[in-house]
Amino acid sequence: MRPSQRQPDQLRPVRLTRGFTCHAEGSVLVEFGATRVLCTASVEDSVPAFLRGKGQGWLTAEYGMLPRATHTRSAREAAKGKQSGRTQEIQRLIGRSLRAVVDLAALGERQIVIDCDVLQADGGTRTAAITGACVAVHDALVGLVAAGKLARNPMREFVAAVSVGIHDGVPVLDLDYAEDSACDTDMNVVMTEGGGLIEVQGTAEGAAFSRAELDALLDLAELGGRHLFELQRAAVHGG
Amino acid sequence: MRPSQRQPDQLRPVRLTRGFTCHAEGSVLVEFGATRVLCTASVEDSVPAFLRGKGQGWLTAEYGMLPRATHTRSAREAAKGKQSGRTQEIQRLIGRSLRAVVDLAALGERQIVIDCDVLQADGGTRTAAITGACVAVHDALVGLVAAGKLARNPMREFVAAVSVGIHDGVPVLDLDYAEDSACDTDMNVVMTEGGGLIEVQGTAEGAAFSRAELDALLDLAELGGRHLFELQRAAVHGG
Amino acid sequence: MRPSQRQPDQLRPVRLTRGFTCHAEGSVLVEFGATRVLCTASVEDSVPAFLRGKGQGWLTAEYGMLPRATHTRSAREAAKGKQSGRTQEIQRLIGRSLRAVVDLAALGERQIVIDCDVLQADGGTRTAAITGACVAVHDALVGLVAAGKLARNPMREFVAAVSVGIHDGVPVLDLDYAEDSACDTDMNVVMTEGGGLIEVQGTAEGAAFSRAELDALLDLAELGGRHLFELQRAAVHGG
Amino acid sequence: MRPSQRQPDQLRPVRLTRGFTCHAEGSVLVEFGATRVLCTASVEDSVPAFLRGKGQGWLTAEYGMLPRATHTRSAREAAKGKQSGRTQEIQRLIGRSLRAVVDLAALGERQIVIDCDVLQADGGTRTAAITGACVAVHDALVGLVAAGKLARNPMREFVAAVSVGIHDGVPVLDLDYAEDSACDTDMNVVMTEGGGLIEVQGTAEGAAFSRAELDALLDLAELGGRHLFELQRAAVHGG
Amino acid sequence: MRPSQRQPDQLRPVRLTRGFTCHAEGSVLVEFGATRVLCTASVEDSVPAFLRGKGQGWLTAEYGMLPRATHTRSAREAAKGKQSGRTQEIQRLIGRSLRAVVDLAALGERQIVIDCDVLQADGGTRTAAITGACVAVHDALVGLVAAGKLARNPMREFVAAVSVGIHDGVPVLDLDYAEDSACDTDMNVVMTEGGGLIEVQGTAEGAAFSRAELDALLDLAELGGRHLFELQRAAVHGG
Amino acid sequence: MRPSQRQPDQLRPVRLTRGFTCHAEGSVLVEFGATRVLCTASVEDSVPAFLRGKGQGWLTAEYGMLPRATHTRSAREAAKGKQSGRTQEIQRLIGRSLRAVVDLAALGERQIVIDCDVLQADGGTRTAAITGACVAVHDALVGLVAAGKLARNPMREFVAAVSVGIHDGVPVLDLDYAEDSACDTDMNVVMTEGGGLIEVQGTAEGAAFSRAELDALLDLAELGGRHLFELQRAAVHGG
């Protein structure tokens, strides 16, 4: 049995609250159970130096965790003076995932900066962040269209992410912290609405995993993805 | 007339939401109008090196602002690799303010770490942070008493803070961002429930200010303080 | 009785030595008793990026303390790789204080950089620094007028600063280190020759202070300020 | 056709040179075609703080690239004062991969530090590094057994890694730089001799990839892995 | 007797391997016995800011040591976030030494960046680095001439360096690590083919040294230099 | 003729002012003409980690330059967040020079920290610093003897330093800034009272220099050294 009493293929309750803060062009609070991440998308009228004058846009992401988002307080990265390797891995993943679904040429010479800040952590912060950031970026792009700055929304399709893992020998969907800590294999899967895979990152925490286990995990992830895309669409249409 | 249509001596709507996040021993979302700051208090069972073995506790604070808490995105301090002078000034002020109302000897060899993170900024983040942090620390201390780790709550009285300033020649209470940017003189006052002053920080942004103006500002601040203490007491008793 | 045998309203011997070093456009050694701060003003022909092309000047300050300016050696900030929060607070205060008395538009697109380096510390280094920096900036500006680069001196009036505090229950002027360490309340006041207040920063070190105590301290500070302005004028005229 | 004229399922010439430098307990130069990485394993008699007194060992890795290992010179990380996100991702991956095949309890309270330094880069530096580091760690552990410090070699099986990708629509094995830059999908697979998977990291560089493509890539990677394990065994036995 | 059984005036076997790596415009592996340093010269089409528009070139150097180049592992400078004072001294010395033999005006507005990375250390890494870097820079300059970018090679003469020291009372040439650690006086001498001195850096490790000892050491260094110049010429002609 | 009208073998006026600041155990203002360096020696009751428990002492040095010690303002190292390579070279040289004349075993488990801060620069700051630091350390050691903490002064002899160079083809002693900037060869020589050499650092700024020139420079340096030792002795006896 899962610690949360969920079925193996059951997501935690997922909520997407748009307009959570007022200044950003897109601002979404995403919740996967007790995991809560504030995702904002900021539109900037310039691009990084390596793209200047190339007529295309860019999209990048930063990730942070409030010091007491976790069970015990973790040191503030701004005070330590550097971002951990984990933070950098996650923010690079978020940026790649969103760039994969946005037509950067159609965006023009602008940059979207995504900030994903974890207010409360209970496992799966990176997958929640990608799922929420997608809606925040969508809202920012809709705003550019509404303002007449873009002819059409350059986001081709939605992107969402979910974690899967093998817990007590059973493949399970959307790990919370209790499961994540006790898991043998842990995989994050980033998918598109159209059924494509953007990133597959599977890691053996203890023993190696087999091809058969990998397949079972991918099946679960696709199932979870379908549910997340429905929630993203509902959030956007109900907004 | 004030940009917000408020009377000169009128606070913005102030809200204190306890238990905003689940892991911290004290967790309060404080809102002064559109300014929203998450204040958490974490209890740690050790003290900084300079206090080890002296039989007393310590209380310190850190402050941060999410990159898109502001009108235009500001760079993430963790990514820049250092905290700005402004950030350091504010976190030192929060720490001093709370230490002034807690009996550190009665706290024993423990440390309370306060984190004040601005989710949305509209002026007065440091005064909101102090006002909210007081309740978060209170809750953490009540928890220590409940757990039998302390015989009594070592917080002697509440502390609160408010900004005042001279806007268009008129002394006004609790500046929002629009007023703050246009202000000649700006003052932050940290007060105790018992009517004492903890910190008075007045700054002429343009022309110097007079003793008479200083007096008018302090009167307003005391008025605001009385209202804030009522709200803190209501929050704690209604919690 | 004060540790230094001074009357409550008595400044330490204050000396302002102009031309203490030879390269800077303004160079003043300021002494408040045993506190000795070297203040230099450097004229640069460019302004920070945020002011470029706006036709106005800027004035900024940096502060440092030699490692053995203090009773026990403190670590060199250049070796530690960062400036402390205290250093940043002080240099921001010095910059704001001087900007308040200089007409930045009349300065033209130039920057004055003030460096205040403490050679020997005995309390009140920030107030000594402001008082000395005022004369150093004055000298640099007089030099620009003499060189025909400015039509008139853009400093509107002198600025000076002094600390006051409540020591053993008695309000006293110009705290030395012995008093500062033992003080209940400590306040730094930055004033202009014309009687205006630029900054008032009062801090309760232990118990809170009352409005009456605040008033007594401000009276003392104004008294001290009048004396400092006389000394600044004498230094400039006797130079 | 591949730029290198190789068959889709053909590795580049792989060489493992043991004892490449003389001081390290294990020192291997690994070459995957023109990619050359020096992997050293250093034995230290202490473990990181979080493991002290737990009776188990640790294994960690660091990765670097000489500034002119690449086509155009890249800035030296030591001079920039920080390691890039890419460097940190790679060194975390190397560490995890090797920890997966070493019995840390059997290692005792010692640490193996792996250094992988790229002398010349032509794609696939991280997979070459893992493959080479495995032999270097093996040699260091054999040395501990020979010295009587360990009863048996705590490495359970070999670990190796290879990249695969979809180039011009065709799944290919072991990408060189020319292919890597032009690739739609890129995957790094870390495997054990026993056929288990340790890490699977697939990334869509442009369009998303399908489950069928993922399967084809994993098949290729397993094929490459079998060849790499033969080379590792030959290197160790021929040494 | 020397630990290495060499005569007092005998160099270790010196090897210069050109084209050791493939991307750099000049790439030389230099070996002084067991000391092995990879020296690359990279040509860049811009100069540092302080030289822009002055119609002359520049040449600079960076130095590093792989963590396990030494007997016991030393911390990676990129991970520590800064280069040691020793590293900076050495790279400044290498840059000055090479600039002394290159006509910077004839180089045009380009920069040569030298990287000297120690793969294996056994004393004398800085002198090996200078000796090898000279050949790498030579090769890069010959390449510019061959590409028609320069009319003639702006290197005026070769530069080489060797260490000398007083070991057990005897002046000896080209110290290895065993001698270097036990040496009373240690001197690095940088010389030109034409017999001139570029740098003389003598240091008493224990007792002071006399003028007579200094003279004996300089004689030995000149002898060593003549041999090194022969080897450089042979390497370049045989390449 | 020298810019300063001095004879080739003439030092600038040298002054050593003891007790320049009040807190340090040794505090000397050293002036070589317009070059003014404040040298303090601080006694600490512990040694660096690598010497703990070995029953011997240590002596280390730090060097800094006030931002406006120079003709044009140089950036403050504490604000830049790191010390330059030049600063580190100089402070390492000062430390080595003083350690060469102090019996570290006789010092016991204590550390002397020397701080050399340049108040005004006109060439030769490092040689002035060594010469002044010697007196500051002497005073600190005399204090330890006077306090009964040491049986005898562990300084074996004085150490002093002077620069020499070839200016307009003429070997000259004690270069000021005007000469230093125009110099072909520049050498710093650190000597002991007993006539020994501690450090010889000669650098060709343009053309290489010959053995004959080196000899002439060393002769001048020895002459200058004899004068400096007289001044040090006079300072100490007259104190």
Confirm whether B5 is domain-assigned. no
Strand partners, D114: D41, D61
E214/F200 CB distance under 8 A: yes
**Could you say which of E96, E207, E218 has the minimum Cβ distance to residue F203?**
E96
**Beta partners for A173?**
A164
Evaluate whether E104 touches E59 at the Cβ level (below 8 Å): yes
Domain count, chain A: 1
- Asked if the structure places residue D140 within a domain, the reply is yes
Tell me, yes or no, if F75 comes closer than 8 A to chain C by beta carbon: no
Amino acid at F154: P
Element at A144 (helix H, strand E)? helix A125-146
Distance in Å, alpha carbon of A88 to nearest chain B alpha carbon = 10
In a domain, D124, yes or no: yes
Question: For residue F2, is it within any domain?
Answer: no
Residue of F nearest to E86 (CA): F89
Distance, in angstroms, between E22 CA and closest chain F CA? 31
pLDDT digits (tens, 9 = 90+) for F85-128: 999 999 999 999 999 999 999 999 999 999 999 999 999 999 99
CATH number, domain at E175?
3.30.230.70
Which chain B residues touch C211 with a CB distance below 8 Å?
Answer: 197, 218
- Residue of chain A with shortest Cα separation from B73: A42
- Per-residue pLDDT, averaged over A170-187, amounts to 94
Confidence band, pLDDT 50/70/90 cuts, at residue E80 = very high
Residue A105 has pLDDT above 70, yes or no: yes
Q: Which amino acids of A are annotated as binding site for phosphate, given as ranges?
A: 86, 124-126
Give the per-residue pLDDT at A161: 98
E91: chain F residues, CB-CB within 8 Å: 85
pLDDT > 70: what percent of chain F?
A: 100
Which tokens belong to C234?
A: 């004498």
Phi-psi region of A55 (alpha: psi -120 to 50; beta: other; left: phi over 0): left
Spatial CB neighbours of F84, under 8 Å, sequence gap ≥ 6: F77
Asked whether the beta carbons of C119 and C32 are under 8 A apart, the reply is: no
Residues of E whose CB is below 8 A from D119: 21, 38, 119
Considering chain A, what percentage of its residues have pLDDT values greater than 90? 95
Neighbours of E157 (CB within 10 A): 15
- From the CB of residue C229, how many other CB atoms can be counted at a distance below 10 Å? 21
pLDDT confidence of residue B1: 80
Q: Which two tokens stand for residue A46?
A: 């310039």
- In chain F, the residue whose alpha carbon lies closest to the alpha carbon of C73 is F42
Which residue from D minimizes the CA distance to E21? Answer: D120
Helix E125-146, helix E85-99: angle, nearest 10: 40
Q: Which of D203, D210, D215, D218 to mutate to test the interface with A (most CBs of A within 10 A)?
A: D203
List of chain B residues whose C-beta atoms are within 8 Å of the C-beta of residue A34: 22
Q: H or E segment at F30?
A: strand F26-32
Beta bridge pairs of residue B39: B28, B116
Specify if D8 maps to a domain: no
Interface contact C202-B199, CB threshold 8 A: yes
Mutate to test the interface with D, among E73, E87, E122, E137 (most CBs of D within 10 A): E73
Does residue A8 fall inside a structural domain? Answer: no
Domain that holds residue E159: 14-238
The answer to whether E223 contacts chain F (CB < 8 Å) is: no
Q: What pLDDT was estimated at residue C20? A: 98
D68-85 average pLDDT score: 95
E194 touches chain F (CB under 8 A): yes
What gap in Å lies between CA E22 and CA D68, rounded to an integer? 9
Tell me which H or E stretch contains F120: strand F111-120
Q: Note the pLDDT of residue C7.
A: 97
Name the residue in chain E with its Cα closest to that of D114.
E68
- Distance to chain A for B70, nearest Cα, Å: 6
CA neighbor of C98 nearest in space, from C125, C63, C138: C138
pLDDT at site B124? 97
- C-F C-beta contacts closer than 8 Å: 98
Residue C53: which residues within 8 A CB-CB, separation 6 or more?
A: none
CA E41, chain centre distance (Å): 13
pLDDT at position D126: 98
Residue (of B231, B163, B236, B159) closest to B193 by Cα position: B159
Find the CB nearest A81 among B23, B81, B119: B81
Mean pLDDT value across chain F: 96
B9-33 mean pLDDT: 98
Please, which residues have CB within 8 angstroms of residue C11's CB and are 6 or more apart in sequence? Answer: C32, C162, C173, C174, C224, C227, C228
Return the pLDDT at D95.
97
Closest CA to A196 of D185, F6, B32, C39: D185
Residue C196 forms part of a structural domain: yes
Report pLDDT for B28. 98
- What is the rounded distance in angstroms from the CA atom of residue D231 to the CA atom of residue D224? 11
Output F166-169 pairs: Cβ under 8 A, ≥24 positions apart.
F166/F209, F166/F213, F166/F217, F167/F2
**Token pair recorded at residue D32:** 């995957």
Angstrom CA distances, B64 to B69, B89, D24, E3, stand at 10, 11, 45, 60
Q: Is B27 on the interface with A (CB under 8 A)?
A: yes
- Considering only the beta carbons, identify the residue of D42, D66, D121 that sits closest to E38: D66
- The pLDDT score that the predictor gives to residue D86 is 96
Residue F12, marked binder: no
Whether C200 contacts chain B with CB within 8 A: yes
Those of residues 134-193 in D touching chain A at CB distance below 8 A are 187, 191-192
Spatial distance between the Cα atoms of F168 and C213, rounded to a whole number of angstroms: 70
pLDDT at residue B239 tops 80: no
Residue count of chain F, please give it: 239
Nearest to A69 by CA among B142, B63, B27: B27
Bridge partner residues of D186 (DSSP): D165, D203
Residues E201/F200, Cβ–Cβ less than 8 Å: yes
pLDDT score at E206: 78
pLDDT in tens, A3-20: 999 999 999 999 999 999
Interface test with C, best of B155, B198, B205 (most C CBs within 10 A): B198
Asked if the model's pLDDT at residue E166 lies above 60, the reply is yes
Checking if the pLDDT of E194 tops 70, the result is: yes
Alpha-carbon Rg for chain A, nearest whole angstrom, is 18
Average pLDDT, chain D: 96
Residues of A in contact with B83 (CB under 8 A): 78-79
Nearest to D202 among A89, A197, A211 (CB): A197
Q: What percent of chain E has pLDDT over 70?
A: 100
* Closest chain A residue to B22, measured at CA: A120
pLDDT of E184: 85
Interface touch D115/E78, C-beta < 8 Å: no
Q: What is the DSSP letter of A199?
A: E
Residue D2 within a domain: no
Residue D147 has pLDDT above 60, yes or no: yes
F208 in contact with chain E, both atoms CB, cutoff 8 A: yes
Q: How far is A62 from chain D (nearest CA, A)?
A: 12
Most E-contacting residue of F197, F215, F220 (CB-CB within 10 A), to test interface: F197
pLDDT at residue number B184: 85
Q: Which of B203-212, E17-26, F229-238 has the highest mean pLDDT?
A: E17-26
- One digit per residue, the tens of pLDDT, for chain C of length 239 reads 899 999 999 999 999 999 999 999 999 999 999 999 999 999 999 999 999 999 999 999 999 999 999 999 999 999 999 999 999 999 999 999 999 999 999 999 999 999 999 999 999 999 999 999 999 999 999 999 999 999 999 999 999 999 999 998 999 999 999 999 988 899 999 999 999 999 999 999 878 999 999 999 999 999 999 999 999 999 998 75
pTM summary value:
0.93
The tokens describing F118, both together, are: 């340049």
Mean pLDDT across A123-149 = 98
Q: Which of D20, D22, D23, D91 to mutate to test the interface with E (most CBs of E within 10 A)?
A: D23
User: CB distance A82–D85 less than 8 Å?
Assistant: no
Does the annotation place F126 within a ligand binding site? yes
Instruction: Quote the distance between the C-alpha of residue F69 and its chain's center.
Output: 17
Percent of chain D with pLDDT over 90: 95
Query: Alpha helix (H) ranges present in chain D?
Result: 77-80, 85-99, 104-107, 125-146, 177-181, 211-237
A237: which DSSP letter? H
Q: Quote the CA–CA distance of D171 and C51 in Å, as a whole number.
A: 55
Summarize chain B as % helix, strand, coil (round to 5). 35, 30, 35
Cβ distance D195 to A210 less than 8 Å, yes or no, reads yes
Contact B185, B166 (CB under 8 A): yes
Looking at residues A143-155, what average pLDDT do you find? 97
| Percent helix / strand / coil, chain E, rounded to 5 | 35, 30, 35
Pairing verdict, β C35-44 and C58-65: unpaired
Q: Does E86 show up as a binding residue in the annotation?
A: yes
Q: Please tell me the predicted confidence (pLDDT) of residue C238.
A: 72
Of the pLDDT bands very low, low, confident and very high (cuts 50, 70, 90), residue F1 is confident
- Residue B199 has what pLDDT? 97
Would you state the pLDDT for residue E38? 98
pLDDT for the residue numbered C231: 98
Average pLDDT, integer, range D140-168:
97
What average pLDDT does this structure show over D176-194? 94
Q: What is the pLDDT of residues D114-125, one digit of tens each?
A: 999 999 999 999
> Taking CB atoms and an 8 Å limit, are E22 and D42 in contact across chains?
no
pLDDT 10s digits, E123-156: 999 999 999 999 999 999 999 999 999 999 999 9
CA A203 to chain centre: 18
Confidence band for D205, pLDDT divided at 50, 70 and 90: confident
pLDDT tens, position by position, D16-64: 999 999 999 999 999 999 999 999 999 999 999 999 999 999 999 999 9
